[in-house]
Amino acid sequence: MSQTVELGTPPARDERVARKSPFTRLMARPEVGALAGAILIYLIFFAVAPPFRDTASLATVLYVSSTYGIPAVAVALLMIGGEFDLSAGVAVTSSALVASMFSYQFSANMWVGVLVALVVALVIGFINGWLVVKTGIPSFLVTLGTFFMLRGLNLAVTKLVTGNVGTNDVSDIDGFSSAQKVFASQLTVGGVAVRITLLWWVLFIAVATWVLLRTHVGNWIFAVGGSAPSSRAVGVPVNRVKIGLFMTVGFVAWFTGMHILFAFNTVQSGIGLGNEFIYIVAAVVGGCLLTGGYGSVIGAAIGAFIFGMTNQGIVYAGWNPDWFFFFLGALLLGAILLNTYIRRRAEASR
């Protein structure tokens, strides 16, 4: 049966999409700007920093990228859902402190401390999400308050329990060795030591991408970030989605905290400050809009890789590290401008 189209009527959307060139469809992807930036930065450091070319150096870059990339996976999902979490960095430290001090002070198996820390991290995420959906206060303000509370608790409780600003060495506690294999071991691949966090990072990226692009939950996340009232009107469980996303951030904060604990045996109460901004920068560089409803987990992973390359590349090149945060701010601004340009081009071609 033929389709009749009146004169002057624009063609159907599926016909317009079908006529798009592969290049146009590619440019509409949120990861494009981050991928172009990653290639450029890699080529720059490859040219100016000879140590950067070594396989061992690449393994170090990937390790640094994974430690920021794992939290960035959940932060990207949360931003696509239209919310922020400024407490993610200190929540990492809180998780590590809880696991360490609980097992040490109560002479419990290390895995008991790990599970207690997981519960605490999930509760923090739940409280953040519950306050946002029940009070209507912007997540920026809610999690900013959580940030300061956790920062104070991390320092005050650690000094109260241990008498210092750091925890005691937990490497002799039962269960430490097995937990270390899960969270902080390394493998040898082709003569190069590869940290297990890289494998976990790849797994988290794969699972999050599958959820985002192949499940109803992923559709809900995009819908809630685009318009929560419209989503609620068509039956999307907006509150549960948002709370679930905050709890997901809590989960990856716990996982990252466990890596720090079992990689160094002790935890300083002041670490992690400012890391939440790096997670957000990675997500924004990867194509996530600050307004929600658009973005990519893979793009956030590329953003974290850019951070890892820059972090280590400056060292390998012998540059003054004082310029690093200037570069990070310029990278964020440039990514926002580039992503805005790509979005407008994509919308204009529809």
- Dump pLDDT digits (tens) for 12-26: 444 444 456 665 665
Query: Above pLDDT 90, what percent of the chain?
Result: 62
Q: How far is CA 317 from CA 31, 51, 63, 309, 311, in A?
A: 27, 8, 18, 11, 11
Mean pLDDT for the chain overall? 87
- Dump pLDDT digits (tens) for 294-310: 889 999 999 999 989 98
Between residues 238 and 287, which one has the greater pLDDT?
A: 238
Q: Is the separation of the CB atoms in 282 and 69 below 8 Å?
A: yes
Q: What would you report as the CA-atom Rg of the chain, rounded to the nearest whole angstrom?
A: 22
Q: Is the separation of the CB atoms in 59 and 193 below 8 Å?
A: yes
Q: With 0.75 as the threshold, say if the pTM is over it.
A: yes
Between residues 116 and 347, which one has the greater pLDDT?
A: 116
206's CB contacts (< 8 A; 6+ apart) are none
Is the confidence at residue 288, as pLDDT, over 60?
yes
List Cβ<8 Å contacts ≥24 apart for 309-312: 309/38, 309/41, 309/42, 309/45, 309/61, 309/65, 310/41, 311/61, 311/64, 312/52, 312/57, 312/60, 312/61, 312/64
Which candidate, 268, 253, 262, places its Cα nearest to that of 87?
Answer: 253
Report H helices in 139-175.
139-162
16's CB contacts (< 8 A; 6+ apart) are 10, 350
Geometric angle at alpha carbon 297, from 194 and 90, rounded to 5°:
75
